[in-house]
Structures are given as C-alpha cells and as structure tokens.
Amino acid sequence: MTDAAAAEPADDQGQTRDLSNARDMIVCEEVSKWYGDFRALDKISTTIKEQEVVVVLGPSGSGKSTWIRCINRLEIHQEGRIVVDDVELTNDLRNIEQVRSEVGMVFQQFNLFPHLKVIDNVSLAPIWVRKKPRAEAEEQAMAQLERVGIPEQAHKYPGQLSGGQQQRVAIARALAMEPKIMLFDEVTSALDPEMVKEVLDIMKTLALSGMTMMVVTHEMGFAKEVADRIIFMEEGQIVEQGTPTHFFENPTEDRTKLFLSQIL
Amino acid sequence: MTAPTTHERAHQRVPLWRDVIVLKWVAQVFLLVVVLSTMFFLATQAGDNLRARNIVSTFDFLERPIDIQLSEGIDTHPDTGARALWTGMVNTLRISVAGIFFATLLGIVVGLARLSDNWLVRRLGSMWVETLRNIPLLVQMIFYFSVLTTLPRVGLGTGPINGWFHISNKGISMPRVFIADGFYQWLMVVGVGAVAAHYVRRHRQRIQDETGAMTSPILWGIGTVALFGLIGIFVHPMFTWMGGIFGAIADLLDSLPIIAPQILFSVVALGVAARWISRFLTDHRSVRGHLSLSDDDWFRIAFAALASLIIVFVLVRWTGFSSWTLNSGRDLFHVLEDKFNVDGAARPFDAMRPDIIQKSRFPNYGKNGLTMSIGFAAVFFGVVFYTSAFIGENVRGGILAVPKGQSEAAMAVGLGRGQVLRHVVLPQAIRIILPPTGNQYLNLLKNTSLAVAVGYSDLVQIGQTTYNQTGMTLPVVAIWMLFYLSCSLSISVVVNWFNVRMKLVER
Amino acid sequence: MSEFAGLGANLGMSTGMIPITAPPETPKLPPREWVKANLFSSPFNSVLTVVASIIILAITRGLMSFIFNPQRQWDATATNLRLLMTQAYPEEQYLRIWIATAVVFTLTGLSLAVWRAGSAVPLSDVGRRLLTFGGTIALLVLLAPFSVRATIIWLVVAVAVAGGGEALRRLVDDERTMSTLGILLIGLSGLVGSLWVIPYGNHTFQLHRTPRVLAEPGTVALTTKLPWTVMLLVAVAAYFLGIFIRERLPTNAPRITLLLLWLLMPPTLLYLVLRDPSFDMGHVLGTDIPIFLVYAVLGGALLNWLARPSTGEIGRIVAALVLVAAFAAFLTPMRMIVRLDMLVLAAFALAAPTFSGGPRARKNYVIGWLGFLGIMSWLVTAINTPSTVKVPGQFFIGGLSLTLIVAVFTIVISFPLGLALALARTSNMPIFRLLATWFIEFVRGVPMITILIFFSIMVPLFLPPGMHLGEVAAVIIGYSLFSAAYLAENVRGGLQSVTRGQHEAAEAVGMTTSQKTVFIVLPQALRISIPPLVGHCIGVFKETSLLAIIGLFDVLFIARSVMPNQTEFMGSTKENVLFVSLIYWIFCYQMSKASQRLERRTGLGER
C-alpha cells in the first residue's frame, strides 16, 4: 500500500489534484439517520475518490462525527446507501468485517487499550484479525511506530505517554491494519496545544503518501494546506463543498460565511 | 435495519447465515430453546421420580391438619399446614423488622465510632467490625446460642432485676408495652395529627423564611403529632364508626362474583401494557412522524404485549387466584371491622411486667413479659451484630466519600459543625449510604433463615418440619422462595423509592 | 495474596498503572501530646475515652475469664484437632494428607518467588509492632484470672517482647529494612520450632479397639511436629527454587505454568491423592482411552481445519452444526463422557475462527484442545471410580478439609459461570439479558439455605434413572449456581466501567465481538473487579458453614454436633465453636487484609 503510494508523484501542497479518473472509494447516497426525534444525518450524498483528502467542517452537533462513524459502521445508518471500496454496508457480517479492516479510524479520545503495551496495542489486530504470525505482526508494528516517530516507546503502557504520543500510537494502530481509508474524528481536540503539531505533521505525511482520508477537524490551517475538498455540514446536511480556495475565499452559502466569520 | 433500506435496495440481498440480525436472533432463540428444554427435561425427570416414589406434589397439605408444636409465634399449635407456615412467615418478619431497626441504630453508632476523633473509640469500632464481619454469621449464632443455653435456670426471685428484667437459659424477659383494643382508633387520631403537623410545619417554615427567626419547624411538627397522640388516648373512641364502613366493604367483596377480579386484573394488565407500548412508540417517533425501531425495540414491544396476554390467560385459567384475592380481601376488612368495633372503655396501650410461674418442678416465664426465647435471642444478636458491622462500614464509607471541600466550603460561609453535618454532609452521604445499606437489609432478611440451626421457629424451620411430616418438599421449597422473593422485592422497592427521592432532592 | 497479585501482574496490570504514593503521614507527636490530641482534646472526648476504656476492659476481662475458666474443656479441641481438620480420614492413609499439604506449600513457595511477593518494612516499624504486641500481652495477662506464678511468667515474656521491640526501635536507624517474607519465615519457624520444645501436651484420640483419650504431658506427637517441620522446609526450598527459575526464564512462562498448576491442583489433589481411586485398568484401557483417542484425532483434525483463516463461513456453519449435534447427542442414551466431549468440541469449534491464525497459533489451539480433553476425560474417569478410602459418613473426608474443598470448588466453578452471566446481562441481546437478569435476581432474592436444601434433597429427583450424584457434589453444584449470581453482579460493575470508546476502538480495528470481549473488555473489567471478587471469595468461604445445617460433616458440624457428644467432652460446644470461629476469622481476616492492600495498590480505594 505504502509502496504504491510512494510511486505516485506527490502533489504540491494545497493544490487541487485531478482525481476525476480515480476510483470511487466511498459512495454515500441519501444517507439518513435519526436519534429518536433528532435527525442526525439528512440525505447525505457524496463520493470520495481514491487518494482524496476530504476535510469535514461544521459547528458541533452538525453530524460530522456521526457521518464518519457510519462509514465503518460504528453507527448504523437507517436510510440510504454507503458503499466503501465496492462493498456495501449492510447487515452482512462479511461486509462489515471487510469494511472495518479496510477502514482505519482514529478517535478524539485516543481510546488506546490501557492494559496493553504500545507494541501490543498496535500488533493485536493484525495478529487476531489479519491472522498474521506474531513475529511478523510485531515487526510491522515496530515499522508503523517508527513511521509515527515513537519506536522507543514500544514497551511502555499508554498511561505513561503524553497525549500527543498516545494519539500517534493510535494512528499507528490504525495503520497497522494496512487500511485503504483513514478516518480522523477530531483527533487534535483533546490535545494540549503544543502537541497538536506533531499529530498534524503525521497526518500531512500520510496525506502526501496517497492515503484516502476523511478528516473531521477544527484545524483550519490543516484544512487549507492538505485538503483536496472541504465539506461543510450543518444540521445533518451538506451545506457546501469545494476546494479549499473556493471554500475559504469565496463561499457561496450564507451559513458557510457565518461559520467562517465566527471561527476565523 | 429499518424497512426502507432492505426493501428499496433489494439488489444486494444478504444471505441469511451472514446477516448479523438473523444470527443474533438465531443464537438467542437457540439458547432459549436449550434452557427451556433443559428445564422441561428436569421437570419430567422429577415428575417420573416422584411418581415412582408415590409422591404427588400438591398444595393440599396447606388445608390439612398438621401435628406440629412451635416454640413461639402467633399460634403455637397451628391446626393446618397453611397456618403453621403463616406463623413462620410472621416470625421471620418479626425478627427481620426488629433486626433491621436495631442493626441500623448500632450500625450508625459503629460507623460514627470509626470516624471519631478519639483514638480509643476508633480502635473499638474497628475491632468490632473486623471481628464480627470475618466470622460466619452461623458460627456466631451457634456461639451465642450455646452460651445462652448454659446460663443458670430461671427461678423465682432471680434475674438481674427481679420482676423487671430476667436472663436465664429460657431466654430474656422484660416488661412490655403492647397494643390494646383501642389502638387502631388511636392510630386514626395520630393520622389526623400527622396531617395537622404537616401544615404546622409549613406555617412555621414560612415564618422562618419571611422573618429569618429560628422557628424550628420540625420540632413543632413533632410536637403537634405528640399532642394529638396524647389527646388520642382520651378521645379515640370517636372513631368507632369506621368499623361499620369496613364491614360494608367486606360484605361488598363477599358478594362479588369471581369474574369481577378477573376482569379488573385483566384490564389493568392490558391497560398497563398498552400504555407502555404507546408511550414507547411516541418516544421513538420523530416530529415528522418517522418511526425508527431496531429489532431490540420490536422485541420489547412484543414482550410487553406477550406478558400482558400471559397474565390474562393465567387469570382466566386459574380461578383460584381470583377467589383467593376476594376471600383474603374480605377477611382483611372483617379483621379491620373487628378492630374498630370495640367499646369506648378500651385503652390504646397496655404495659406489663414479666412474671415467672411455677407449674411443675421447674419455673418458667409467664405470658406477661416480653420474652425473647434463646433461639430468638441467638438469631437476633447474630443478625444485629453481624449486620451492624457492615452497615457501620457503609456509614463510614458514605461520610468519607463526601469531598472534604464540601465541609470546608460550608465552614467558610460560617455554618457551625452541627449545621455542616446536618445540611451539607449528611444529605450527600445518605445518597451513598442508602443503596448498600438496602442490600444489607436484604441480607439480614435472608440471614434470619439460619434460625433453623438454633431452633427458632422461622419459615424455614417450620417448612422443614412440614415437609418431613408430609413429604411435600417441592411445594414447601416453592413457598419459601416465593416468600423471600416477595420480601426482597418489597425491600428493594422501598429502597429504590428512597433513592429516587434523594436524587430529586439533590438536583 | 500471592495468587491475586500474580493474576494482576500476569494480565499486565501492575505496571501499566500510575503509581500512587501514600499520603504523607502526620508527623509523630511525642506521647504526651499524642494522648492529649487523640484522647483528651475536649471534655466530651475525655468522657468518650473513659467510657471506651471501660468497655474494652470489660470485654477483655470477660473474654479472658471465659477462656481461662477452669470449667472450659479445651482438651476437647486439643484432642479432636485431627477430627476437626479431616474428620475420620484413616490414620494409615494420612500420608496422603501430608502430600497434598506439601503440594500446596510448594506451589505457594514457588508463587511467592515468581511473583516477587512481599515488601520491605523498616525495622523500626517492626520494633514498634513488637512493643505494642508486648504491651497487649501484658494487659491481657493482667486481666486474665491466672495464678500468681503464671502471671509472673507471662509478664516476663511480655516485657521481653516489648523490650526487644523498643530496643529495635531505638538502636536501629530508620533506613534498615526487612522483607515481610523474612518476618513471616521467622514467625513460622518459631511456631514450628515451639512444637519441638514447648510441652503443649500430647493429646490424641485412640480410635482402635476401645476409643479412649490420651493426654500426656510433653511435646506434641511426632506425627504432628515432624510433618509440619517438613512442610516448612518444603515451602522454603520451593521459594528458592522459584527464585532460581525466575532468574533463568522469561517472566511469563513460569507464571502461566504456575497459574495452570494452581487451577489443576484442586481436582488432582482431591481425586488422585486424597480420594485414591481404584482404577479399573481394563475399563480404562478398553473404553476411556479409545474414546479419548477418537475425539483427540477427529476433533483435532476438525479444529485444525476450522482454524484455517481460509475456511471462511463454511467453518462457522460446520461449527454450528457440531453444536446442534452435541445437543442432539445429549438427548440420546450414551456414555456421559461421549456427550460431554461432544459439547466441549462444539465450544472449541465455535471459538476456532475467532482465536486462530497462522500455523503456530493453529497448533497451539489444537494442543489446547488435546490438553483440555485429556484432563476432562481423566477427571470424569476419576470421579466415577470408587474410592479406596472408606470412612463412616457420606464423604471420605470432612472437617476443615471439606470446608476448604467445597469453597475452592465453588469458587472455581462459579467463576466462569458468573462471567458468562455477567456478559449475558450486559450484552445487547435481549433474550440473553432477560434470562441472565431473571436468574441473577431470583438467586439473589432467596436465602442460600433454601437453595442448599433444595439441591441436597431434590437433585436425586432430577437425575435420570441410573445416574447418581453424591450429596457433596450436589451441594457444590447448588452453591456454585448461587455464588455465580453474586459473582456476576461483581463482574458487571467492572464490565460497565469499560468505556464505550474501548468498545469502539476494538470494533474499528475489525475485531469480532468475542475477540473484543476476550482481549479488550474482560482484562480491563476483571482488573477493576478484583477487590469485590476477593470479597466474594471471603463470602463464599464464610458461607460454607451452612453445610452444617444440611448435615454434612464440615468443621462447624463436628464442633457443634460431634464433639459435644463424646463421652469425655460432654457439652463442650462453646469451646469448640469459639475455636472454629478463630479458624474462620484467621482465614477471612487475612484475605480481607490482602484485598485492602491490593485496593490500595491499584488506587481504587483512594479518593
């Protein structure tokens, strides 16, 4: 996977790439979801191409997190269709397993397994889900930890690491499954300001390596710099989407303008 | 999950053996079948084995005469099995209620002792707790029992305080105050007093709120009740007319056909289920009328409907239950009628001193005093001491769990030590203390069943005698379990009610 | 203590936690000020002190005069010690008891070493303890109704102890420490050594021909002091062996082996050592071993195939079919072992796709199956083989041994049951949840004695004709079900404290529900539940006393109903029951102290 990505020439930062010929990685058709009375997702339709980096913005409670959690079926959508890498998310056990092992996810609260060492956190899933021999899995786990820059912490427990380091372990844990898509759910929100950069840097590198990424974040700098497309959501709907240039410089919708004026 | 997804987009049909929903329900139904068939198998085996031994398990023994003599209780020579078991239940409840009351008192003392500033008191408290809770209750009970049995015989003119307080190998006897004929009328007067006290308290509280003067509303409330109690001793015959009302209700219940309670209970069951389902549906319906129900929700609805239907079915098929409710309701009101139909000369209370009578060679306690037999005393001291250790730990833990900042903040605004305890620490601590203490009450109730080892006639002991005589083991065990389950349920309902109240008060 | 601490360490619990330092102790005051601050700070406090002193003095005085009353028949306990411990286990077979004890001591010694149990305490602390201890003895002696001579002797002892403590406290600087294990060893050696030196008197019950009591002056019988000396030496030797192993092997291997040995110990000791089954070799060779071999080969092949990652859904369907077949087999009349094996095979088959992987993992899985199958076959055979040990009574052993056996087996059996119940009660499957909730609430709502009576009387009725179950086994089953319901509630608290994020993270990396449960949820939940679980074990141990009510010869029954009926010791109930409560108290107190230490170490009890 990484090899394939490295073969592609890296795009210039912030420039829109032409991805029109790329494969569809995630297809959402009129996806809706309710929590009781509350409509969390309202007919979301969009397509995300291979290698595309999509940043989802929006005020809190707008359904961003719900949406990306639907994509690896941590939440179950009630109407519409989600197809990930040609596999539709239904009640089919095989499809769910396949999608989950192809989609990596990083959480706001890290959610590392506190009773396992860092190396075991990273290698657990490859051993038991991908059924790899332990030695091989641990070797790859070390490689992933090197990729996120903390191989020396491999034999510590998560509780002994700083927030930034924990989040990097969480990224390594997701990458160890060799996913085709990475989902990031406000990964920097729970971090102290001085640790945000180390996590964002890794995400940038990952984006440059050609990973398909969906990022829910409040980091506008990151969005401007890395995103191929920005999706703005409010009240469970996609209000506006477009390139960073379009989005930040001349947004068309009033709600987007209001949002931008509040945060910038 | 909802209908639209699977119906509109049928082009990707999920094979049954891979559908998570199907698998989930198949597994559950499989387990249900296994459990039910195991139970069925065991029941058949038990039936066959019992038939082979010529035992037919019925509840007939409840109606038949039984030869049993009890050491104590409301009826020491019960004429039927039902009466014997009923005596046992009353004995169990009696010792449980007394045990709960005294264990709570002692437990609070122990808990406070363990928090005391005084080193010696603290030590004493922890010695009490560490000793008592680490020795099995049964061992303690047997020890108390064996000590009590070796006490000196009772004799005329003995006892620590002769004529007032006796300790001997026949038990402990002391003066008693008991309910006399006029008690229930008197209780009505006190009830009126309680209503009055409520208003008096509110009034005093308003005065305090308005003027800021300390009016001690709670003391006034208590005083009002006490005043009514005092007056009630003289005026209680004025409530004698209530007997007639209860009699009329009893006659009404007697004239009702069996179908009446059947209809009533069925309507209640169906109504409750229907109301629950409709509320469940409105809770799950969005403003726009969209209804999203998961498979679990469907199960809940189906279960509620099924449960109500089963209740109706049982009511229709088992007429015994309905006639039993009618009869016992009638009996209850007749009893009430009797209690109120007493002449005006009756007193609400009476008091007596213990007496010792000598019929044969050995003297024994008479009927006047409040006598704890040694069986009762062994169980009573056992459960009270044992439970007090646990309740003491709950009290201590609860008070310690209130953050120090709370009392510091209260002191900072100028409240005194007592006020801090009463207004700040205790309200928070009680919320923490109550749930585990409720559990201890449940344990105490269940632990009284150990009385069988020291010969106190509680439900288990009488049940054992009963099935030894009649061979009806299964019915007796069923009655035991039913009794303890309903008692446990009642205690947890009461404790939960307090819990909810406490939480509401807090917010 | 060592087992529980070890369990934690093995699951990777002990090191992953932020160490919690004890709060700084309040500076020690000089005695006079301490007394003033703690006992006489206010008039009310002074009154309390006086009242409490009176209560303590009265209780102590009462207890001492109760114990040292010349009417007390302490000979009853001294003579009947063996009866209290093992009931009427035959004298000539007694070596078996000592072997069993030695095994327990060996495992304890090894575990203490491998888990690095024990800590260092400052010598000045030890000195302070000795000082208090000496003072307490002196107080007790003064309150006891002793003769002048005895009082003087005991006072000298007390002063010596206290003086030694004070000397230690004064002379040794604060830095010097001593390991708790060392103190324990000194204490035990002193105790065992005293058996050889101090004339406790030789009390025995001669059961041969005419039963008579033998109480001679002198030290205790050689049959008592020699084995205990050997036991102590065995434990010490095992400890050093453990250190040797610890230094030479990686951490985890000896720990896992020891845990397995601890698990295997109860059935092995009970059925092979204590019970001495007379195996019918013809039957074993002709029936048991062939059945084992058939299942080993066919089941092994099936599991090896199922565990292949490439097998896919077909494997799951086959496993489900095996389960259905196992239940169908249960309804057909076959040998019990055949049906049981089938059921276990089905369980292994269902778990195969989840817990398998590469060739090595597959091999381990099949080996696990073979091991489990072998142990189960052997156990079932041993249980069904009559014992050569014959005693009057329903069970071949009684007294404290029966109490311990029932407690240990109940805990071991109820642990998986309770775990399953807790998982069912917290699962998202409504029928599982409903069944588990009903069962738990039902069992928790009725007293244990009713359940014990139900099982001891009713179980024979539930069995199909031709099947027999001893009363002890029936009671253990009933007790395990009872205990499982309470255990489930303890574990449920732990399960609910595992955050939603942990579940989601496990799902997001693609784990199945069972993998999530085994690797992520249970380890965390169990760690949190350790203190309540230890409390649960104490409860189980205490409640074994209820066996006396249904007439099993446990230690309480012997003390209450057997010994007071011996002609020599008529009516000695009080003494015996007091002795039994001392036994229970020592066990329970030690366990609860251990759990408190554990709680403090994991910081659960702290605010």
CATH of the domain at C477: 1.10.3720.10
| Residue pLDDT, tens place only, C341-398 | 999 999 999 888 887 777 788 888 999 999 999 999 988 888 878 877 776 666 788 8
Give the mean model confidence (pLDDT) for residues C517-530.
91
Q: Which two tokens stand for residue B160?
A: 């620590």
Number of cross-chain residue pairs from A and B with Cβ atoms under 8 Å apart = 47
Contacts of B6 in chain A (CB under 8 A): 90
pLDDT at C13: 35
Q: Which of A9-13, B44-48, C393-397, C497-501 has the lowest mean pLDDT?
A: A9-13
Tell me whether residue C26 is in a domain.
Answer: no
Give the mean model confidence (pLDDT) for residues C540-566.
89
- Same-domain status, C117 and C230: yes
Neighbours of chain C (3+ CB pairs under 8 A): A, B
Residues A218 and A206: their CA atoms lie apart, in Å, by: 18
Interface residue of B1, B283, B295 to substitute, partner A, most A CBs within 10 Å: B1
Q: Amino acid identity, residue C440?
A: I
Considering only CA atoms, which of B139, A101, A229, A38 is closest in space to residue C309? A101
pLDDT band at A140; cut points 50, 70, 90: very high
Q: Which of B31-35, B360-364, C405-409 has the lowest mean pLDDT?
A: B360-364
Give the mean model confidence (pLDDT) for residues B457-476.
89
Tell me whether residue C334 is in a domain.
Answer: yes
pLDDT band at A229; cut points 50, 70, 90: very high
Q: Provide the β-strand partners of residue A46.
A: A28
| Residue pLDDT, tens place only, A183-202 | 999 999 888 888 899 999 99
Residues A107/B34, Cβ–Cβ less than 8 Å: no
Residues C307 and B188: their CA atoms lie apart, in Å, by: 76
pLDDT at C210: 57
Give the mean model confidence (pLDDT) for residues B349-363.
80
The residue among C385, C406, C427 that closes a domain is C385
Contacts of C360 in chain A (CB under 8 A): 133-134
Residue C596 or residue C490, greater confidence: C490
**Closest CA–CA distance from residue C502 to any residue of chain A (Å):** 6
**Closest CA–CA distance from residue B279 to any residue of chain A (Å):** 13
Residue A119 or residue B402, greater confidence: A119
Residues B340/B184, Cβ–Cβ less than 8 Å: yes
Q: Which of A251-255, C205-209, C447-451, C572-576 has the lowest mean pLDDT?
A: C205-209
pLDDT at B103: 96
Residue A158 or residue C568, greater confidence: A158
| Residue pLDDT, tens place only, C76-90 | 888 888 888 888 788
Residues A199 and A171: their CA atoms lie apart, in Å, by: 9
- Same-domain status, C294 and C246: no
Residue B11 has pLDDT above 80, yes or no: no
Q: Which of B116-120, B372-376, C6-10 has the lowest mean pLDDT?
A: C6-10
- Same-domain status, C185 and C307: no
Residues B145 and B149: their CA atoms lie apart, in Å, by: 6
Residues C518 and C540: their CA atoms lie apart, in Å, by: 26
Tell me whether residue C289 is in a domain.
Answer: yes
Cα–chain center distance at C589: 13
Interface residue of A66, A115, A140 to substitute, partner C, most C CBs within 10 Å: A115
Q: Which of B139-153, C22-36, C539-553 has the lowest mean pLDDT?
A: C22-36
Residue C220 or residue C7, greater confidence: C220
**Closest CA–CA distance from residue B237 to any residue of chain C (Å):** 43
| Residue pLDDT, tens place only, C468-486 | 778 888 899 999 999 999 9
In chain B, the residue whose alpha carbon lies closest to the alpha carbon of A96 is: B20
pLDDT at C21: 40
Tell me whether residue C155 is in a domain.
Answer: yes
Residue C118 has pLDDT above 70, yes or no: yes
pLDDT at B287: 62
pLDDT at C206: 64
Tell me whether residue C52 is in a domain.
Answer: no
Q: Which of A158-167, C18-27, C264-273 has the lowest mean pLDDT?
A: C18-27
Domain count, chain C: 3
pLDDT at C211: 58
Question: Over the range B98-115, which residues count as b (16 or more CB within 10 Å of their CB) and which as e?
Answer: bbbebbbebbbbbbebbe
Nearest by CB: A34 against B12, B20, B290: B290
- Same-domain status, C217 and C309: no
- Same-domain status, C348 and C287: yes
**Interface contact flag, A128 C527, Cβ < 8 Å:** no
pTM: 0.88
- Same-domain status, C472 and C513: yes
Residues C329 and C336: their CA atoms lie apart, in Å, by: 10
Residue B290 has pLDDT above 70, yes or no: no
pLDDT band at B461; cut points 50, 70, 90: very high
The residue among C221, C237, C267 that closes a domain is C267
**Interface contact flag, B12 A88, Cβ < 8 Å:** yes
pLDDT band at C330; cut points 50, 70, 90: confident
**Closest CA–CA distance from residue A23 to any residue of chain B (Å):** 21
Residue B158 or residue B138, greater confidence: B138
| Residue pLDDT, tens place only, C231-281 | 999 999 999 999 999 888 887 888 888 999 999 999 888 888 888 888 888
Percent of chain C with pLDDT over 90: 37
Q: How many residues does chain B have?
A: 507
Residue C8 has pLDDT above 50, yes or no: no
- Same-domain status, C77 and C104: no
| Residue pLDDT, tens place only, C555-567 | 999 899 888 888 7
Q: Which two tokens stand for residue C123?
A: 């010598």
**Interface contact flag, A80 B284, Cβ < 8 Å:** no
Residues B167/B160, Cβ–Cβ less than 8 Å: yes
| Residue pLDDT, tens place only, C27-47 | 566 777 777 777 787 888 888
Tell me whether residue C564 is in a domain.
Answer: yes
Residue C315 has pLDDT above 50, yes or no: yes
**Interface contact flag, A92 B14, Cβ < 8 Å:** yes
DSSP letter string, B446-470: HHGGGGGGTT---HHHHHHHHHHHH
Longest dimension (CA), chain C: 87
pLDDT at C27: 52
Residue A14 has pLDDT above 50, yes or no: no
Tell me whether residue C331 is in a domain.
Answer: yes
Question: How many CA atoms are closer than 13 Å to the CA of C607, on its beta-carbon side?
Answer: 9
pLDDT band at A2; cut points 50, 70, 90: very low
- In SS3 terms, chain A reads as CHHHHHHCCCCCCCCCCCCCCCCEEEEEEEEEEEECCEEEEEEEEEEEECCCEEEEECCCCCCHHHHHHHHCCCCCCCEEEEEECCEECCCEHHHHHHHHHHEEEECCCCCCCCCCCHHHHHHHHHHHCCCCCHHHHHHHHHHHHHHCCCHHHCCCCHHHCCHHHHHHHHHHHHHCCCCCEEEEECCCCCCCHHHHHHHHHHHHHHHHCCCEEEEECCCHHHHHHHCCEEEEEECCEEEEEECHHHHHHCCCCHHHHHHHHHHC
What letter does residue C522 receive in the DSSP assignment? Answer: H
User: CA angle, C245 as apex, C240 and C249 as ends, to 5°?
Assistant: 160
The per-residue pLDDT of chain B, averaged, comes to: 85
- Same-domain status, C548 and C423: yes
- Same-domain status, C107 and C84: no
C603: alpha, beta or left, given left = phi > 0 and alpha = psi -120 to 50? left
- Same-domain status, C414 and C381: no
pLDDT at B243: 82
Tell me whether residue C48 is in a domain.
Answer: no
Interface residue of C355, C509, C518 to substitute, partner A, most A CBs within 10 Å: C509
Contacts of A104 in chain C (CB under 8 A): 508-509
- Same-domain status, C353 and C432: no
Residues B27/C427, Cβ–Cβ less than 8 Å: no
| Residue pLDDT, tens place only, B81-94 | 888 999 999 999 99
Domain that holds residue C200: 90-267
Contacts of B147 in chain C (CB under 8 A): 574
**Closest CA–CA distance from residue A127 to any residue of chain C (Å):** 7
**Interface contact flag, A92 B20, Cβ < 8 Å:** yes
Contacts of A39 in chain B (CB under 8 A): 286
Neighbours of A161 (CB within 10 A): 18
The residue among C267, C293, C313 that closes a domain is C267
Give the mean model confidence (pLDDT) for residues C594-606.
64
pLDDT at B21: 87
Tell me whether 0.85 is exceeded by the ipTM.
yes
- Same-domain status, C255 and C380: no
Interface residue of B139, B149, B294, B386 to substitute, partner C, most C CBs within 10 Å: B139
pLDDT band at C458; cut points 50, 70, 90: confident
